[in-house]
Structure 1
């Protein structure tokens, strides 16, 4: 169970550090005041401890009875003798006092008060029922009457393990504890710690508690603040804790915002990548479909061309014009040979003879003749060449009678002719 501190100056923290090992301990809170606000006993009560409260102010005594119905609440004042104490009550404060000096000082500061006649007993009488029983801590906070309270104590019959007394003038840092400390030292108590407001003393028979007061309250005590303490110190520490908490919350919020932003950025990038991949896939699919369509179109075009080629190759006109194509091919080859001079005169004569025979054969077939003429019109050079080759030879000139020949010659020519003729006859 977490220890929650309610005291105004961490008195409960120091006492718990020393006595937290005790189960169901007992305490006496003299000048208990509020059962929660600035209460030294509240945290112990929550951990199962029980005790006696001494509170002379009627309002606070009633509050204690309502909040702690299973504890004893003594509505009286303690001193060194029995009687009636004129108690100066300053409502809603912890400044109620039986010391006139302090009461006058509070009045000059504008605090309203009333005087209440309060029963007064010595501590030995008020706690006679506890004689010989263990009491683990006793706190005395009576606004200047601490010494008188201790003078009414029987230190042999009642020996609390730890005694805490307020050691400063109310609302001041001025220390005033000499008479009370003399009483405690004479009763075999040892001073061990001063927190700036209270002085702590341990009984001589419990020296093991001394180590618990070697340092002030700190983070290693592992306590939580209730936030209900009225002192400036507690409020300052509480504000410090709140400030640190706020800073941590701000850091947490900033980290959360950064994490959310990073998560959003990650989602955005994932969406972009997914969208880009989807677009790329769509583009690739479209390109594949386009290529497939083009391939199919090309295939269809090739099939159509092949179909048309097959139709031409099997057509009647193609078969009829086959000789013409063969002749055209032969003619082109012959024309090339003529141009390059690769044919002899004898071959030329035989070719011409063959061509004339072919021409005569074609002439006897009007259909072939028309086809050949149409084909040769497409190759004018070849047509001219063939026309020249197939033209009939010129008629041989008639031989002149020797008398006509000699008469036509000049005298010189006739002489030459006669000489040649004579030579030819001798041969």
Structure 2
């Protein structure tokens, strides 16, 4: 069965190689730290072993109680005397130590902060006195430079673990530091059998048969895999996590892109559905319009048919009239009536022309006659006596004279009044003359009127000459 290793330097692999034949064994882990990460006991616990954990750091002691509720956790420190001591706690590491020099070095070299706490201290003898007569298959000591003090508090005759594992280097350094406490183990009849670069392994002489298991370091034949918490897997795990994160990010990006695409497609579908609904509405409207237009066309065709039928009937009747005997008999009469109508129309046009011509000629002659009447007092008095009997005619002539500027009116300029009211001076009376007509107007007059107008012009010229001589 494949063995899962949790320890930081394959300590559990070496111990399992030597002790895997033991069922439900027992262990003591001094400086146990985390219940999983870099734990020497975790693999054995999984195989049904149980034991005692000695851990003075409160954080790790609590984690051990939660992860191993069926095991004993002693939250104490070990030394060669009992009482209390000041422990330098370096959080989140396995470097907490009771040696001030090591704590200061960690702070200087690595920038670790330390917290000083007071912890109770027992000897290994007094802390494990209840194990007298019980087999302890392995005991590990990892106390960051305090190993000698711990071993000095051990009763080698009462507590005889089959295998002892003790950290043998200066904390956080490959330099060995075991000369001061190695004699304690050898004197107690323990045989050194293996050094893994960090720890020294010792076998009790009464179990010398286990030494063969430490003849070589961990290898492929130990059928071992590393737990993900092992620091040896951190690079692989980091790479795997990076790939997982990249894949998750790509999946998230793909999902985001897919979501955006889905939103776009949904929006497009909504628009197309709206357009389809609009098209259906438009199509229905056009269909209704088509039906209405078709009905109107049918109605117009029906009316057209009726009108055509009626027109054909009327045309038939007209042709019947044209073909009738009465129409042929009355044909000369219709021609006479047509000629008569044309003659009357022409006569009407000539009369209208003569009336317009007479009107154009009558106005200048009327103006000249009124001027002559005004200029001669006797004629004026006689005209007034006659017009008094015809007030309507008198009013009409007065308005005509005023419009023509022959007599004074409220809207006539003063120079016209001066021109019309010439007084009794004979010279002024001689200045009243008939109007001058243009050549075009004379050409439009009848020959008789032209002769009268010519005679008047001659008489006026003679009068002007006489008035000038006087």
How far apart are 1:241 and its partner, in Å?
Answer: 12
Mapped to 1, the partners of 2:130 and 2:18 lie a distance apart of 26
Structure 2 CA distance for aligned equivalents of residues 149 and 90 of structure 1: 20
* Secondary structure, counterpart of 1:199 in structure 2: strand
1:318-397 counterparts in 2 under 5 A? Answer: none
Displacement of 1:2 in angstroms is: 3.1
Q: Which residue of 2 aligns with 1:107?
A: 107
* Counterpart for residue 189 of structure 1: 190
Equivalent position SS for 1:179: coil
What is the aligned-residue RMSD (CA, Å)? 2.0
Deviations 1:224-282 (A, max 9, x none): 1102123xx5546x67998xxxxxxxxxxxxxxxxxxxxxxxxxxxxxxxxxxxxxxxx
Q: Contact between 1:8 and 1:234, CA under 8 Å: does it hold in 2?
A: no
Q: In the alignment, is the contact (CA less than 8 A) between 2:190 and 2:204 conserved in 1?
A: yes
How far 1:133 moved relative to its partner?
A: 0.8
Q: Which has the higher contact order (CA 8 A, sep 6+)?
A: 1
Q: What is the correspondence of 1:22-421 to structure 2 with a 5 Å cutoff?
A: 22-108=22-108, 109-230=110-231, 233=232, 235=234
In structure 2, the residue matched to 1:323 is none
Indicate conservation of the 8 Å contact 2:228/2:237, yes or no.
no
Q: Is the 8 A contact 1:84 1:120 kept in 2?
A: yes
Residues in 2 aligned to 1:117 and 1:240: alpha-carbon distance in whole angstroms? 38
What CA distance in whole angstroms lies between the structure 2 residues aligned with 1:215 and 1:53? Answer: 28
Q: Equivalent residue of 2:181, what SS?
A: helix
User: How far has the Cα of 1:53 moved from its partner?
Assistant: 0.1
Distance 2:214 2:237 in 1: 26
Deviation readout 1:132-164 (Å, 9 max, x if unpaired): 210000000000001110000001100000000
CA contact (8 A) 1:26 1:134 kept: yes
- Paired residue total: 241
CA separation of 1:139 and 1:241: change in aligned 2, threshold 3 A? farther
* Secondary structure of the corresponding residue to residue 206 of structure 2: coil
TM-score (norm 2): 0.50
Q: By how many angstroms is 1:131 displaced?
A: 1.1
> Unaligned 5+ residue runs, structure 1?
243-427
**Aligned residue in 2 for 1:290:** none
Please give the TM-score of this superposition, normalised by the length of structure 1.
0.55
The whole-number CA distance in structure 1 between the counterparts of 2:88 and 2:239 is 37
Counterpart Cα distance in 2 of 1:240 and 1:159: 42
Unaligned runs of 5+ in 2: 241-470
The CA deviation at 1:206 is 0.5
Q: 1:312-344 CA distances to partner (integer Å, 9 max, x unpaired)?
A: xxxxxxxxxxxxxxxxxxxxxxxxxxxxxxxxx
What residue is the counterpart of 1:369 in the other structure?
none
Question: Contact 1:9/1:234 (CA < 8 Å) preserved in 2?
Answer: no
Instruction: Work out whether residues 24 and 48 of structure 2, in 8 Å CA contact, stay in contact via their aligned partners in 1.
Output: yes
User: Using the alignment, how far apart are the partners of 1:229 and 1:146 within structure 2?
Assistant: 24
The 2-side partners of 1:138 and 1:235 are apart by: 28
Tell me if the contact between 2:86 and 2:117 (Cα under 8 Å) persists in the aligned partners: yes
Q: Any conservation in 2 of the 1:8–1:229 contact (CA below 8 Å)? A: yes
- Rounded Cα–Cα distance in structure 1 between residues aligned with 2:131 and 2:21: 22
| Equivalent in the alignment of 2:10 | 10
Q: Secondary structure at the match of 2:61?
A: helix
